[in-house]
Amino acid sequence: MSSWLKQSQPAISVFLTPCGLKHAHTHMHTTSFSVHCANNDVLTTQGAIDFVEYLFNDKANQDPTVNKTAVALLGDLASSLTGVGALFQQKPAVTQFVREAQASSDAGLSDTADWASQVIQKSMAA
């Protein structure tokens, strides 16, 4: 696993999309924006979801801090971008990753996963 993943701090994450949307996620407090841009958002989101799927499938190298950050990223994508529900529906491993995180004994991870699950389900229903 890359050293930058292990060294990343999940406390504050800021995302810039190709449309210039700035989205901040601090601990469990999220500032949400809804935006629907050109295909660039779909491609960027697809890449992020593919990356989280890779993390999920790499069981031997999973790290709790990285898992929590990845689950938070999924929730951020689902809550911030319109029309990404179909991407989540195409990746059952990603939703399984969130379900497994919900069952974690790590309260921070399970709380983050509960929130992410809610917003992902909402985006898939839209």
How large is the average pLDDT for residues 110-120? 97
Is pLDDT above 80 for 50? yes
Q: How far is CA 99 from CA 32, 46, 113, in A?
A: 23, 20, 7
- Give residues with Cβ within 8 angstroms of 5, minimum separation 6: 63, 66
% of the chain surpassing 70 pLDDT: 66
Average pLDDT in the chain: 75
- Name the band, by pLDDT with cuts 50, 70 and 90, for residue 78: very high
> Average pLDDT in the 103-117 region?
96
Instruction: Provide the edge-to-edge strand list for the sheet that holds 29-30.
Output: 12-16, 22-26, 29-30
Q: Cα(63)–Cα(69) distance, rounded to whole angstroms?
A: 10
**Residue 35 · residue 41 · CB < 8 Å:** yes
- Return the domain boundaries, the chain: 11-125
At 22 the three-state DSSP class reads: strand
What tokens were used for 73? 């990223």
- What is the rounded CA–CA span in Å between residue 48 and residue 122? 19
**Band of residue 21 on the pLDDT scale cut at 50, 70, 90:** very low
* Both structure tokens of 54: 């890779």
Q: Distance from first CA to last CA of the chain, Å, rounded?
A: 35
Q: Percent of the chain at pLDDT above 90?
A: 54
